Amino acid sequence: MEIDAEKLTILRRDTTKISMRVNGKGEIVLCVPLSLRDEGIRAFLQKHQRWIARRMRESALFCLDFSDGSVLTLFGISYTIMSGAHPCVDGGALRLPKDGREKALICLLKHMARKKMTELTGAVADKYAFAFRRIRITSARGRWGSCSDSGTISYSFRIAFLTQDEAEYVAVHELCHTRHMNHGYEFWREVERILPDFDRLRKGIREKNAVMKWL
Ligand SMILES: [Zn+2]
């Protein structure tokens, strides 16, 4: 496996262990003992090439580089990031201020997620006669959506990184919990009745779980 030198940062530290991570920009950061030679580093990278390839694939799913000209795909639509005083969607552009860009983006994602998920959840609920109380957009990591006993459906703002079909699956999943508060046979039968190819969507979503770690 060839690793682009620009994508690799080697930090020599007073440590006995090698540690490695791939960040949201697809850069490999390797921490190695001071005494480790280049051959040792090459051997380590070689040995972990499958892990690296998987992480690189995950990071390629999202552009977490928020500089001007970068492209961010939200609910399946690609937007080019550009500068602007107020965060907003401006045609095919996502306008973000120069300072505090990540915070502004999160604010915009919350707004977009609220709009889209209110629309999707409402449409599925109307069509299949589900009742829910309200929708919340949260910053919770670890899950895309959840449903409380009282019928409040919560979605992570990161749901904006899913395609529209995948986001709809999450809405269907949570609405089915208003009838079945578990993941039993009846629950999955209900999901399947609404979305026969839900398994494909679940797989696509699982691949994107990594975004929870990065934003
Ligand atoms: Zn569930």
Cα(16) to centroid of ligand 1, in Å?
42
Give all domains of the chain, ordered by start, each with its CATH number: 5-61 (no CATH), 100-214 (3.30.2010.10)
pLDDT under 50: residue ranges of the chain: none
Kindly list the distances between the CA atom of residue 150 and the CA atoms of 31, 73, 133, in Å, as whole numbers in the listed order: 48, 33, 7
Whole-number Å distance between alpha carbons of 211 and 74 = 13
pLDDT of residue 134: 97
Cα(85) to centroid of ligand 1, in Å?
39
Those residues whose C-beta lies under 8 Å from the C-beta of residue 97, and which sit 6 or more positions away, are: 83, 84, 85, 86, 87, 104
Tens digit of each residue's pLDDT (9 = 90 or more) over 136-171: 999 988 899 999 999 999 999 999 999 999 999 999
Cα(143) to centroid of ligand 1, in Å?
9
Cα(184) to centroid of ligand 1, in Å?
10
Cα(110) to centroid of ligand 1, in Å?
21
pTM listed for this prediction = 0.77
Mean pLDDT (the chain, rounded): 91
